[in-house]
Amino acid sequence: MTNFELIALGVSLVAIFIAFWQGFLAKSQLEEAKRTKTETEKLLDEIKGKVQRIETISDETRKDVKEQISKLIDKQDENFKVLLNAPKESSQNEMLMTFLPKLMENPDMMERLIEIGNRQK
């Protein structure tokens, strides 16, 4: 073999070594890319789960706030009804206080009023 053939053989061997080395590097990079992709998908799933939990908490909080507002409005309605009915009750109490002495003088009339009151219940 001549020097030229030896140089050509050496260059060929170096080229083969470089090709194998590039193949090894490409395989390593592919495995790293797969690992990174798996980790990224795992992190995205965790983020998705956390977002869903936050949305659930947010929905529950929103529902609780609506319920509290409804209860407050209902309580205000009850208070307004009581306030509107208060003058009637007050005037009824005044009438009762006016008639009480007369009812005490006539027990039969008082018994009849009590019977009427019990029937209305």
pLDDT digit string, tens, across residues 60-89: 888 888 888 888 888 887 877 776 666 565
Instruction: Determine the Cα–Cα distance for residues 75 and 107; give it in Å rounded to an integer.
Output: 41
Which residue is it, tokens 């983020």?
Answer: 47
| Residues in contact with 110: Cβ distance below 8 Å, sequence separation at least 6, in sequence order | 103, 104
pLDDT tens, position by position, 111-121 = 777 777 777 65
Is there a contact between 24 and 18 (Cβ–Cβ < 8 Å)? no
**CA nearest to 110, candidates 90, 96, 91:** 96
